[in-house]
Structure 1
Amino acid sequence: MSASVQHEDWWWLRSKHRTIRYSSADDQRRSFEATTRRDVALSLIAARGCRCFNNEQRGLPDKLTQLDVARSLGCAIPDTLISCDKAEIIAFIQAFGRTIVKPLSISFAPAYGSDDATLISIMANLVTVAEISAASDEQVATFPAIYQAYVEKSYELRVVAFGDACLGFRIDSQASPRSAIDWRRAERLPGIVGREPVPLPPEMQDFTGAFLRRSHLHSGVFDFAVTPDGKTVFFECNPSGQWADLDGTHGSVTRLFADGFESLLSS
């Protein structure tokens, strides 16, 4: 095998979720080929010392680390517990009332009883003391999850950042009961979840830029809640987050990325 890879090359390997189930031998082959190409690319990047967008080799920051970084930079975060201890979880819910549960990292799973490659997205959900109490100790102890005090929202804010530049989009998640807890449940239903460009204060640009630098990232898609009293609360930053749906007809996010990549390539 031969490959022309130079030290000054830039690579961008976007993380994508794949299921272990396949509907055909061709799907299985394509998945294997994609995994192999990615492994070869990572090896070439390491061997040639190439530059990798969002620093794939360093590993991407997990949700717990993200919360720590956000808090250290002065941004509000939800009261959070990461646990698989039944008594500890029940005590947390009793202390904070309405509580959200969500996975630490993997948010996709193969569909139960399905023979195809369908993925089920595991979203944020409200959880109660009764539900935790009804589960066996073994069921709760099987895996840790993120438990967070529910944040009352006026709306949600998605911020696409590249370096020190960023763009904000208001998501009216509270317009429908279906999207109130996790707006992704209604993102494909037209007219339910709006995404409108909004101006951002200078302190938001300062925060996202500092967060990316601290996390060794070039770009990220940030999710915040804005409370009824105007407080901004950090949820997470997705280094491979989707943004094309925010671009609409104005193309502002595309221009953000184009300008950012142009700056990187000339550095």
Structure 2
Amino acid sequence: MGAARPVLVVAERLDAAADMVVDQLNQRGVAVMRFDSADFPQHVSLTAGHRPTAAGWEGVLADGHRSVRLQDVRAVYYRRPGRPRIADSVPEPYATWAQNQADAAILNLLSALPVRWINNPHHDRVAAHKPQQLVAAARAGLRVPRSLITNDPDEARAFARTVGCPLICKPVLGGRLDAGGERQLMVATHRVDPTRFDDSVRLTAHCFQEDIPKKYEVRLVAVDGNMFAGTIVGTSEKARTDWRTDYENLEYGTTEVPDSVRDAIRRFMASYGIVFGSFDFAVTPDDTWVFFENNPAGTWSWVENRTGLPIAAAHADYLQGDTT
């Protein structure tokens, strides 16, 4: 395959993981066109046509400096791009309508390309649902925590009695809170005291889980069957509960993935049709791996930077390969 067939990288401008993958592809002489969906339609143009006898849509994507023919694309790395932005001159409700039109066009036209994907965004959306992940993980052979989603305080108390060990509470849906301006707040995983459950539980859905004892945690990055396991040891109470809340008190390393876990992860990913995942596990004092969740667009650049694991190279290997 000639190097002229480009890889399309769809990501925000400031994304360390995308930077690292692009660098790997550049070192290999693979052509790359990178853009952010947020630049469409104001700074990116798209024209695509479909013929009944064609394998897919044909056309041109251009940003004023570079252009790529859709039919020449060899692979797509799709990583957390922004939503299209409509010109300020368009008033509401037309601006929202126009944004939805642009979003549907760019997302669905690209998704229809018959090429390799990390990951196809339609598969990502399904794979990101946390309650369903627990079912898929258990079905694949992974151990998962005992869990309850409820807005009933009596049911939450009953669950605590059944579990008979400390509980944590975590968001059903990830993301950050907009605190105004550029301030954002993260709702972290936190330990809860069931004796203090009251009617505030009724205000929304809560996800309660047994608090898994941890020897250490693992951020496992899976790319096309390759698995890179970075270990995280929290040296403060906050870090041991949710390591994202106390980066100053973390120690990093690497570990081998047990064959049984490796095989189960492959089954899990195949069930969603994805080739990339950023998994969170706890490893208990008796070396049992317990699945928490998978983010199909999760961060991993810090894992490579802290451990030297060749995650970006694995991305480039897959994206450089033959189309499927």
Cα separation, partners in 2 of 1:251 and 1:232, compared to 1, 3 Å: closer
2:150 is aligned, of 83, 98, 108, to 83
| Partner AA of 1:227 in structure 2 | T
| Partner AA of 1:121 in structure 2 | M
CA distance in 1, matches of 2:207, 2:82: 20
How high is the TM-score relative to the length of structure 2? 0.67
Q: Deviations over 1:143-170 (max 9, x none)?
A: 2121101101111111110121111111
1:48-197 mapped onto 2 (5 Å cutoff): 52-58=117-123, 59-61=125-127, 62-96=129-163, 97-111=165-179, 115-133=180-198, 136=199, 139-173=200-234, 175-187=235-247, 189=248, 192-197=249-254
CA distance in 1, matches of 2:167, 2:108: 43
Which secondary structure state, in structure 2, belongs to the residue aligned with residue 241 of structure 1?
coil
Which secondary structure state, in structure 2, belongs to the residue aligned with residue 260 of structure 1?
helix
Q: Deviations over 1:79-137 (max 9, x none)?
A: 010111121111112322311111111331112xxx4121111110111123312xx3x
Preserved CA contact (<8 Å) 1:125 1:182: yes
Displacement of 1:199 in angstroms is 2.1
Bigger Cα Rg = 2
Preserved CA contact (<8 Å) 1:223 1:236: yes
| Partner AA of 1:184 in structure 2 | R
CA distance in 2, matches of 1:79, 1:256: 34
Displacement of 1:204 in angstroms is 2.8
Cα separation, partners in 2 of 1:147 and 1:140, compared to 1, 3 Å: same
| Partner AA of 1:60 in structure 2 | V
Which secondary structure state, in structure 1, belongs to the residue aligned with residue 266 of structure 2?
helix
Cα separation, partners in 2 of 1:40 and 1:51, compared to 1, 3 Å: farther
Which secondary structure state, in structure 2, belongs to the residue aligned with residue 45 of structure 1?
helix
Which secondary structure state, in structure 1, belongs to the residue aligned with residue 290 of structure 2?
strand
Unaligned runs of at least 5 residues, structure 1: 19-24, 26-31
Q: Deviations over 1:8-42 (max 9, x none)?
A: 65333323699xxxxxx9xxxxxx99988654311
Q: Percent same amino acid at aligned positions?
A: 25
Cα separation, partners in 2 of 1:45 and 1:90, compared to 1, 3 Å: same
Unaligned runs of at least 5 residues, structure 2: 1-44, 48-59, 61-69, 89-95
Displacement of 1:194 in angstroms is 1.6
Displacement of 1:266 in angstroms is 4.2
Preserved CA contact (<8 Å) 1:90 1:129: yes
CA RMSD of aligned residues (A): 2.7
Counterpart of 2:304?
247
The structure that is strand-richer by fraction is: 2
CA distance in 2, matches of 1:34, 1:262: 32
Which secondary structure state, in structure 2, belongs to the residue aligned with residue 78 of structure 1?
coil
How high is the TM-score relative to the length of structure 1? 0.80
- Greater mean deviation of Cα atoms: 214-223 or 54-63: 54-63
Which secondary structure state, in structure 1, belongs to the residue aligned with residue 262 of structure 2?
helix
Cα separation, partners in 2 of 1:214 and 1:197, compared to 1, 3 Å: same
